[in-house]
Amino acid sequence: MEELRNPLKGRSLRAILTAREHLKSGQRERGLQELREAMRDPSAMPYAISMLAVEHLRASQLDVALAELEQAVRLLPGKPENHANLAYALCLKGQIERGLAEARRALQLDPTRRKTRMVMGMLLLQEGSHDTEAVQYLQAAAEEIPSAHLILAKHYDYAGQEPKADQERRAFTVTSMSLLAGK
């Protein structure tokens, strides 16, 4: 809703797009600098903070990412990616209940996002009382995200279900190879 009320345009849009292109092309420092500069513009700031948070997550700077994601969720509460990324950061920090709440919110906003389903599955496995539901979320995510197969394999290993674990490892290889061939 915020994006519709206050769409990015002009210089703000160019700053965010330029930062995204630098990050995509591997020019991480340049992209981060562009995002920091974009934060000076009030209309670009919510988008810049969201993107910075993702970069900090990728760099395993969890405390910084967590603070930025909490701010991003406050500034853009209707953006499911922010809730899903916050859920993931909370998962990594071991804050399962808060993570589940954020993942549920992300799924309410967009029930089709496979990355959110994967995070939900990870959180439910960590919680430990909803394994069947967790497996369903991870299987749904695995159609597009091969690493979900590895999470399932680890779960099955832990549960002593070696044939299922082996099946998931094979599925990981097949899915990964087919995604590489499709690129």
Name the residue ranges covered by the structural domains of the chain. Answer: 1-77, 99-183
The CATH number of the structural domain formed by 99-183 is: 1.25.40.10
Give me the residue label for tokens 């299922």: 164
What was the pLDDT predicted at 10? 72
Question: What is the spatial distance between Cα 81 and Cα 62, in angstroms, rounded to a whole number?
Answer: 17
Q: How confident is the model at residue 1 (pLDDT cuts 50, 70, 90)?
A: very low
- Claim: this prediction has a pTM higher than 0.75: yes
Using the predicted structure, report yes or no on whether residue 174 has a pLDDT greater than 60. yes
Using the predicted structure, report yes or no on whether residue 43 has a pLDDT greater than 80. yes
Q: What angle is formed at CA 163 by the lines to CA 134 and CA 133, rounded to 5 degrees? A: 10
In sequence order, what E strands does the chain have?
none
Structural tokens at position 144: 């597009």
Give me the residue label for tokens 């995604």: 179
Residue-wise pLDDT tens digits, 65-89: 999 999 999 999 999 999 999 999 9
What was the pLDDT predicted at 110? 96
Give me the residue label for tokens 């279900």: 161
Element (DSSP H or E) covering residue 17: helix 10-24
Question: What is the spatial distance between Cα 153 and Cα 165, in angstroms, rounded to a whole number?
Answer: 4
Using the predicted structure, report yes or no on whether residue 55 has a pLDDT greater than 80. yes
